[in-house]
Structure 1
Amino acid sequence: MAGHSQFKNIMHRKGRQDAVRAKMFSKLSKEITVAAKMGGPDVDSNARLRLAVQNAKSQSMPKDNIQRAINKSQGGDAEDYESIRYEGYGPGGVAVIVETLTDNRNRTAGAVRSYFTKHGGNMGETGSVSFMFDRVGEIVYKPEAGDDDTVMMAAIESGADDVSSDSDGHVVICTFENIGDVSSALEKDLGEADSVNVVWKPQTNTDLDEDKAGTLMKLMAAFDDDEDVQSVFSNFQVSDEVMAKLTAA
């Protein structure tokens, strides 16, 4: 297993679940508020909001929290956030993409740059690493959603481009533009997804040893702790042996 999902697995095992959930809900709420403010509070006519709400529901975010975030977007005191993407290289030369929502770009840029520098990396210009990734929709299901053949057939019928299955579950990949339609079709056949996201999928992965992987985990944790950071993607890959050591550390 590689990249973003590996990091999330480690952090969820090491972190206190209530703190992890509270932080996740806060970031989901911000995305919902921004989406509703930009495109209106109607989920049916606002594709970005529909995706944000789908993802919030898949993470078991209470309906009241979701509605509160939408209502906040219509108030006069709603913050003005802008989406900014930062790119750079982490330890071992791995490519890193950081997506943020911020009301102060100077604060966020300074913080992101400091995280890279402190953990053996460096921040680059926009476009310096994103060419090594594809922007796609990623819909994740737990193993209980069905066997490999059932999920594969549902993915094909939904218009998805690819699906991979292992003991951790099923990952369905589709184009960025079709994620709404594909996720809705899959929900009819397989039920509610474990997560629905637009992601940066690496075209190739970079292997890291235990030392470099450990440093990268610290870099990822720094990003994850920052309230302005919404998502982080990387093209790193570690072996099962290193993964086990990192999880136990």
Structure 2
Amino acid sequence: MAGHSKYKNIMHRKGAQDKKRAVLFSKLSREITVAARAGLPDIAMNSRLRSAVIAARKEGMPRDNIERSINKAAGNEGETYDEIRYEGFGPGGVALIVETLTDNRNRTATNVRLAFSKNGGNLGAPGAVSHGFDRLGLISYPASAGDAEKVFEAALEAGAEDVESNEDGHSIWTAQENLHEVAKGIEPVLGEPEGIKLVWRPQTSVDVSAEDAETLMKLIDALDDDDDVQNVSGNYEISDEIMETLG
């Protein structure tokens, strides 16, 4: 019985991982489609599409899937998605911004509202929390791209506003309108980045208790598991010790 139980647990975990991967690929495909429709279906001429393709490659999305999404957009096939942002509060007063791409506004609004209400949060009106965030461009490089001085000099020369480097890699911050221009300026020196995207950067952070952290992670997981949700940003700080207890 023990062996059978262990096998079932392994299969359950694999099934959960496969499901999460399928959801991730669905989200990436949507962003590629929307980006391709918003401009030319050519990564050399469409900066948003290039960013989406880089993100898809990083997550191991098959090349055929990427090309299929671009071709759908070029042929004006498939669903049309609306970009909708939701704002609200999670446990401990944490501010959250939820960005979605949806072909059914009512479904998405209902799912996001339920995720908040079932996990200790509440959905607010548009603008309820975004005033506490800055909209910035973020270019990410692995630590192997070079040492902190090399990355800083390349970023400064390209017009970046700030650079954060640690053992995990380099984060290069820009004004949102300069994101792709700065990325192009850095690439000849550091190579293709791991990521190019617009993000919501909190102006101040909220320290979250162990009890609130567990519920907050459930809320974020519930949102991330929704096909329509592309990104969840928050102003929370959770200590390494608490994160370890959450597994």
TM range (shorter): 0.7 to 0.9
User: Take 1:30 and 1:87, find their aligned partners in 2: how far apart are those partners?
Assistant: 21
Rate the CA distance shift 1:19–1:240 in 2: closer, same or farther, 3 A. same
Q: Where do 1:54-69 residues align within 5 Å?
A: 54-69=54-69
Q: Are 1:59 and 1:195, in contact at CA under 8 Å, matched by a contact in 2?
A: no
User: Take 2:186 and 2:16, find their aligned partners in 1: how far apart are those partners?
Assistant: 32
Q: Which residue of 2 aligns with 1:82?
A: 82
Q: Which residue of 2 aligns with 1:23?
A: 23
Q: Are 2:20 and 2:225, in contact at CA under 8 Å, matched by a contact in 1?
A: no
User: Take 1:62 and 1:193, find their aligned partners in 2: how far apart are those partners?
Assistant: 19
Rate the CA distance shift 1:16–1:170 in 2: closer, same or farther, 3 A. farther
- Structure 1: 5+ residue stretches without partners: 1-13
Give, as a single letter, the amino acid of the residue that structure 1 aligns with 2:49. L
Percent identity, aligned pairs only, is 55
Give, as a single letter, the amino acid of the residue that structure 1 aligns with 2:24. M
Q: Secondary structure at the match of 1:135?
A: strand
Give, as a single letter, the amino acid of the residue that structure 2 aligns with 1:131. H
Give, as a single letter, the amino acid of the residue that structure 2 aligns with 1:62. P
CA shift, 1:19, in A, is 4.5
Q: Are 1:58 and 1:192, in contact at CA under 8 Å, matched by a contact in 2?
A: no
User: Take 2:184 and 2:157, find their aligned partners in 1: how far apart are those partners?
Assistant: 12
Q: Where do 1:23-172 residues align within 5 Å?
A: 23-172=23-172
Rate the CA distance shift 1:15–1:243 in 2: closer, same or farther, 3 A. farther
CA shift, 1:96, in A, is 0.2
Give, as a single letter, the amino acid of the residue that structure 2 aligns with 1:245. T
- Deviation per CA, 1:43-86: give whole Å up to 9, x if none: 33333223322333344433332211110113353201100000
Q: Which residue of 1 aligns with 2:199?
A: 199
Q: Which has the higher contact order (CA 8 A, sep 6+)?
A: 1
Q: Secondary structure at the match of 2:222?
A: helix
Rate the CA distance shift 1:239–1:66 in 2: closer, same or farther, 3 A. same
Q: Which residue of 2 aligns with 1:232?
A: 232
User: Take 1:24 and 1:187, find their aligned partners in 2: how far apart are those partners?
Assistant: 26
Q: Secondary structure at the match of 1:177?
A: helix
Q: Secondary structure at the match of 1:126?
A: coil
Rate the CA distance shift 1:123–1:137 in 2: closer, same or farther, 3 A. same
CA shift, 1:15, in A, is 9.9
- Larger C-alpha radius of gyration, 1 or 2? 2
CA shift, 1:18, in A, is 5.0
Q: Are 2:54 and 2:194, in contact at CA under 8 Å, matched by a contact in 1?
A: no
Q: Which deviates more, 14-23 or 99-108?
A: 14-23
User: Take 2:172 and 2:30, find their aligned partners in 1: how far apart are those partners?
Assistant: 26
1:223 aligns with 2:223: yes
Q: Which residue of 1 aligns with 2:11?
A: none
Rate the CA distance shift 1:190–1:21 in 2: closer, same or farther, 3 A. farther
Rate the CA distance shift 1:95–1:15 in 2: closer, same or farther, 3 A. farther
Q: Are 2:163 and 2:172, in contact at CA under 8 Å, matched by a contact in 1?
A: yes
What's the RMSD between the two structures over aligned residues? 1.9
User: Take 1:30 and 1:150, find their aligned partners in 2: how far apart are those partners?
Assistant: 35
User: Take 1:23 and 1:192, find their aligned partners in 2: how far apart are those partners?
Assistant: 26
Relative to the length of structure 1, the TM-score reads: 0.87
Q: Which deviates more, 114-123 or 176-185?
A: 176-185
User: Take 2:61 and 2:144, find their aligned partners in 1: how far apart are those partners?
Assistant: 20
User: Take 1:67 and 1:238, find their aligned partners in 2: how far apart are those partners?
Assistant: 39
Relative to the length of structure 2, the TM-score reads: 0.88
